[in-house]
Amino acid sequence: MQTGYYGAAAGMVVQFNRLDNIANNLANVNTNGFKEDNVVVGDFMRLYKDARDELPHDNQTEDGAQFLNRTMTKTPHIVDEYTNHTIGAMQRTDNSFDFALKKEGLFFMVKTPEGVRLTRDGGFVKNDQGILTTKQGYEVLPDDYFLADSRISFGEEDTIVETDKNGQFYTNIPNTFAQAQNKKLFIANPDNLNMLQKVGDNLYEYKGTDQLKPLQESEAVAQGFIEKSNVNAVKMMTQMIETNRLVGMYQKAMDTQMNEMNREAIDKIAAKS
């Protein structure tokens, strides 16, 4: 059995998966609030260095040598996937319904047909009923949503809408310079970001969303700004070039295994016949 061929084929599959990941990141380089995804490729030597004291056989033994030889033929594979939650660049829009979160790990809460979801995309709009929603039409939730099932809404007379750094809305009182307190944005701070799962529309699903408590003093809300994607396009292009080169190398290795080595073996067998 040509173990080298199968190892090269598995390595090529891993690089194809990396290409899918890189392509998705590049496709979202201009998506507001998007967070870069990455994969971790496992290989035996790295795993061996981390866990060699826990191997089932002692070193310098026949069983140990056989175990290492068998394990070395195992193919590389993706052992983990993770999201980089660092903050993206802030772009000023001066739009009253655009919001950015200036701290890592904080999210807006929105209501979808599938349940409550989290997002970093603060490009909101006021719909025909005066309700604050995402551009996809999902309602943006206030901090008392789980207590009162309320919503953030504005009337036609609310010509001035201002928000403080904690997400508290203030609207003008008609015919005066005074402002009245309105609803407050639900700013969530999940305990474990690894539990977040991307579900499309730039949203995250989080198990136990109904247990999240709104931050009263987040000091992170910036009105009139949008957080851009944290994807580094130059880095992604470099990774894409590297991955394409690795695919070519694996393809060459597979071709060598199947054609040149087999041909040489056939020639030698024929010469001895």
> What is the model's pLDDT at position 13?
82
Helix (H) or strand (E) holding 264: helix 262-272
Residue 77 has pLDDT above 90, yes or no: no
SS3 of the chain: helix, strand, coil, percent, to 5: 35, 25, 40
Report residue 19 as tokens. 């290409």
Contact 190, 75 (CB under 8 A): no
What is d(CA 248, CA 269) in angstroms, rounded to the nearest whole number? 31
> Phi and psi at residue 87, in whole multiples of 5°?
-75, 135
Confidence of residue 46 (pLDDT cuts 50, 70, 90): low
What is d(CA 188, CA 106) in angstroms, rounded to the nearest whole number? 6
Residue 71 has pLDDT above 60, yes or no: no
> What is the model's pLDDT at position 177?
76
Number of CB atoms found within 10 A of residue 243's CB: 18
Q: Which of 29, 171, 205, 188 is nearest to 97 (CA)?
A: 171
Residue 76 has pLDDT above 60, yes or no: yes
H-type alpha helices, 101-232: 145-148
Residue 26 has pLDDT above 70, yes or no: yes
Sign for the pseudo-dihedral over CA of 213, 218, 220, 222:
positive
> Phi and psi at residue 80, in whole multiples of 5°?
-160, 150
pTM of structure: 0.77
What average pLDDT score do residues 217-231 get? 96
